[in-house]
Chains A and B, each alone.
Chain A
Amino acid sequence: MSCFIVKGAGVAGLAVAHELLRRGANVDIVDLKETIGQGSSFFAGGMLAPYCETEAAEEMVLKRGLHAADWWDQAVPGAVTRNGTLVVAQPRELSDLLHFASRTTGHVWVDRDGIAALEPSLAGRFDKALFFAAEAHLDPRRALVRLAENIRQLGGQFHFGSRPPSTKNCSVILDCTGPAAIAHMRGLRGVRGEMLHLETGEVSLSRPVRMLHPRHPIYVVPRDNHRFMVGATMIEMDDDGPISARSLMELLNAAYALHPAFGEARVVETGVGIRPAFTDNAPRVVETTEGLAIAGMYRHGFLLAPAMAVSAATRLSKGLRFTKE
């Protein structure tokens, strides 16, 4: 039986571990942290939004992200909510909405009544919106915990902390270390992302809502227990220090503009993650001296990890691991 070591228990590592286990391989997952998903994955939005993302991403994001929701549904049954995405803009930002519409597919225009029907909390607040019906979302932290449970059931073994296990006779290592790979992988850089969690019972959303703005676009992803993830800044640096006052202010301002009740919400968490990215911001399966790496997930961890995992696992199972993709 083939055996593999996956370095990194974030979304890319767990996705590829799951793919390899399903193919009958032996998989050990190692991570320097104390448990799964403590790196960039912890701060993910969890939007499975391939159509929206093509507004500023390569075509491959749409192509390879199209089946992400199906993959998650199969790997973690019940984790995915398929309610689409709503994209709104203040009346004076109508041109941003038109621009977004012209850059994407898979949407329909909805008017005030349509917005009220989809998201009663936003009734009367916007004149026009774009609805991407085929998109989905999930709670990244819960999805990873459950994916890890399934991995254990399939025989995968986790090793946390600073002392990785002896590599036994496993010769193939999959590097899924996310931003930690920036130090040793050519062409990889970090893009800082800041986010926060708000808690309020006064707003209720059924799907991610993106609010366009020329300076401070945001998305708000509903979680359970009246929580909302608000994200995310994109700053070209790999400093993972605490959120800046300016970013916090801008995210909160935008959330408040989306719905004034967010002004009364509690800020229950702020977080900063580093997105590892290549210069074209598209992820890759790259060969390394030890095996393969899934790298440069950028802002598309949960959206593209399935496709990257399938791609890597297929290459390994075909014994083609040293063929260029």
Chain B
Amino acid sequence: MLNLYDCTLSSRLLLGTARYPSPAVLSEAVIRSGAGVVTVSLRRETAGGKTGGAFFELIRGLGVRILPNTAGCHSASEAVLTARMAREVFGTSWIKLEVIGHHDSLQPDVFELVEAARILTEEGFSVFPYTTDDLVVGEKLLAAGCRVLMPWCAPIGSAAGPRNRPALTAMRAAFPGIPLIVDAGLGRPSHAAVVMELGYDAVLLNTAVAMAGDPAAMAEAFAKATEAGRLAYIAGMLQPRDMAVPSTPVIGKAVFS
């Protein structure tokens, strides 16, 4: 079971709610994914101080835990403000903290991220920081009070899959007791399986499901791959080697010489 801020979840897949063809398709995808947590972007929907009433009602109606996010924020102060609004709107202290530092790559601004994480933790938030695979930043985030880390494996929405496996492996090794969730860059189910095999605790994805030809079917495919990767990690995998190892034992074979 996955444990995030003292909340136990049976699914290791977290799903975003943006860019689906329709709310009906989104709802179907969430159900088929089995995800216990969905992320919701607050920023645009609440412009002008109004909530996106009907859409938020739909999200609430999904019956899963809501993880509001600060997508689109470019500074600590903006993200903190958005997080406070999210707490009001959704009645949860969970917040996926996203502070974008680079317009093109949507790479997080890790300095602002750590600062925002510190402020929000002090205010009682459970912070899920979207970060890079940098170990020092990970340590600073933990020192700021985060109890979960969410590194990217490639830029948001890029569908590129794990680009730096050694870095992800190092991160897993560096933070053994901390739930690690790969947050961005997954494009296909095999990518999810790979990071789960590396020992990551969960994956969070959006575009790869939302923009698929059949989002609901893709959600299920990701759920299965995530589960498969987790099982493989627990089962213990062989290390690759250069030479062949016969899989049929030779003991007992007749020897003609």
Interface presence of A78 (CB below 8 A): no
In the bound complex, do residue B45 and residue A279 qualify as a contact, i.e. CB atoms below 8 Å apart? no
Residues in A neighbouring B107, C-beta threshold 8 A: none
Select from chain B the residue with minimum beta-carbon distance to A244: B47
Binary contact readout A9-46 vs B (1 if CB under 8 angstroms, 0 otherwise): 00000000000000000000000000000000000000
State whether the Cβ of B63 lies closer than 8 Å to any Cβ in chain A: no
Question: Number of B residues contacting the other chain (C-beta, 8 Å)?
Answer: 21
Q: Verify B45–A236 contact, CB threshold 8 A.
A: yes
Pick from B21, B27, B48: contact of A239, CB under 8 Å: B48
B5 near A: Cβ within 8 Å?
A: no
Q: A319 interface residue, CB < 8 Å from B?
A: no
**B4 CB, nearest partner CB in chain A, Å:** 26
| Contact indicator per residue, chain B 27-67, by CB within 8 Å of chain A (1) or not (0) | 10000000000000000111110111111001000000000
- A189-B54, A189-B55, A279-B27 as given contacts; A241 in contact with B22, CB under 8 Å: no
A237 touches B157 (CB 8 A): no
> In the complex, A278 Cα to B21 Cα: how many Å?
12
**Is there an interface contact between B45 and A235, defined as CB atoms closer than 8 Å?**
yes
Near B by CB (< 8 A), chain A positions 257-281 give 277-281
Is there an interface contact between A238 and B54, defined as CB atoms closer than 8 Å? yes
In the complex, A239→B50 CA distance in Å? Answer: 7
Hey, which chain A residues are within 8 Å of B166, CB to CB? none
* Cβ–Cβ < 8 Å partners of A282 in chain B: 22
Chain B residue at minimum C-beta to C-beta distance from A189: B54
Task: Output the nearest chain A residue to B25 by Cβ-Cβ distance.
Answer: A280
B211 within 8 A of A: yes
A323 interface residue per 8 A CB criterion = no
B176 within 8 A of A: no
Q: Check if A320 is an interface residue, CB within 8 A of chain B.
A: no
CB atoms of B47 and A279 under 8 A apart: no
Q: Out of B27, B54, B58, name the residue touching A190 (CB < 8 Å).
A: B54
Contact residues in B for A278 (Cβ distance below 8 Å): 24
In contact, A214 and B52 (Cβ under 8 angstroms): no
A237 touches B45 (CB 8 A): yes
Most chain B CB within a 10 A radius of its CB, from A58, A244, A280: A280
Q: How far is the CB of A94 from chain B (nearest CB, A)?
A: 13
Q: Are A103 and B213 in contact (CB under 8 A)?
A: yes
**B51: A residues at CB distance < 8 A:** 237
Whether the pair B25, A237 counts as a contact (CB closer than 8 A) is: no
Chain A residue at minimal CB-CB distance from B72: A246
- Nearest A residue to B43, CB-CB: A246
Which one of A56, A102, A236 contacts B55 once the chains associate, using CB atoms below 8 Å?
Answer: A236
Docked-complex contact A281 and B22, CB < 8 angstroms = yes
Question: What's the least CB distance linking B134 to chain A, in Å?
Answer: 25
Contact A281 B24 (CB under 8 A): yes
Query: CB of A99 within 8 A of chain B?
Result: yes
Measured between beta carbons, the chain B residues less than 8 angstroms from A102 are 213
For A236, list chain B residues within 8 Å (CB): 44-45, 52, 54-55
Interface string of A200-243 (1 = CB under 8 A from B): 00000000000000100000000000000000000111110100
Q: How distant is the Cα of A118 from the Cα of B67 in the complex, in angstroms?
A: 47
Whole-angstrom distance between the Cβ of A297 and the nearest chain B Cβ = 14
Contacting residue for A279 out of B23, B157, B213, CB 8 A: B23
Does B24 lie within 8 Å of A280, measured CB to CB? yes
Is A134 part of the contact surface with B, judged by Cβ < 8 Å? no
Query: Once the chains are docked, how many angstroms separate the CA of A238 from the CA of B25?
Result: 20
* Interfacial chain B residues near A237, Cβ < 8 Å: 44-47, 50-53, 55
Show 11 A/B contacts (Cβ-Cβ < 8 Å), sorted by A: A57-B21, A99-B211, A103-B213, A190-B54, A235-B44, A236-B44, A236-B52, A237-B53, A239-B50, A279-B22, A282-B22
CB-CB nearest 9 A-B residue pairs: A189-B54, A236-B55, A280-B24, A281-B22, A237-B52, A279-B24, A279-B23, A236-B52, A56-B21
CB within 8 Å of B: which residues of A?
A: 56-58, 99, 102-103, 182, 188-190, 214, 235-239, 241, 244, 246, 277-282
Additional A-B contacts beyond A190-B54, A236-B54 (8; CB < 8 A): A99-B211, A103-B213, A182-B54, A189-B23, A237-B44, A237-B45, A239-B48, A280-B25
| Interface residues, chain B, with chain A CB atoms under 8 Å away | 21-25, 27, 44-48, 50-55, 58, 157, 211, 213
